[in-house]
Amino acid sequence: MKFLYIKAEVIHRRSWTTRGAVELETLKWVDWFNHRRLLEPIGHIPTVEAEAIYYQQLTESAQVA
């Protein structure tokens, strides 16, 4: 993940009172980016779900072979 996305979408959108507040919002954004953001090229599912499907298919292929 590129830090530029976080800077543009989280950090530069408002002023921050503490470093901890920036860290918390960054963690929330990363969670959204990885677990809730839907991607059209992979069937409108989150990247974490796509990875789980991929690794499940690998496991199933290995069991068949």
Residue-wise pLDDT tens digits, 10-56: 788 888 899 999 899 989 988 998 889 998 998 999 989 999 999 99
List the chain domain ranges.
Answer: 3-64
User: By the 8 A CB rule, do 45 and 35 touch?
Assistant: no
62 pLDDT band (50/70/90 cuts)?
Answer: confident
In DSSP notation, 13-63 reads: GS--S-HHHHHHHHHHHHHHHHHT--BGGGTSB-HHHHHHHHHHHHHHHHH
Residue 52 is which amino acid?
A: A
Q: Could you tell me the pTM of the whole model? A: 0.63
Q: Which two tokens stand for residue 29?
A: 């954004």
User: By the 8 A CB rule, do 35 and 46 touch?
Assistant: yes
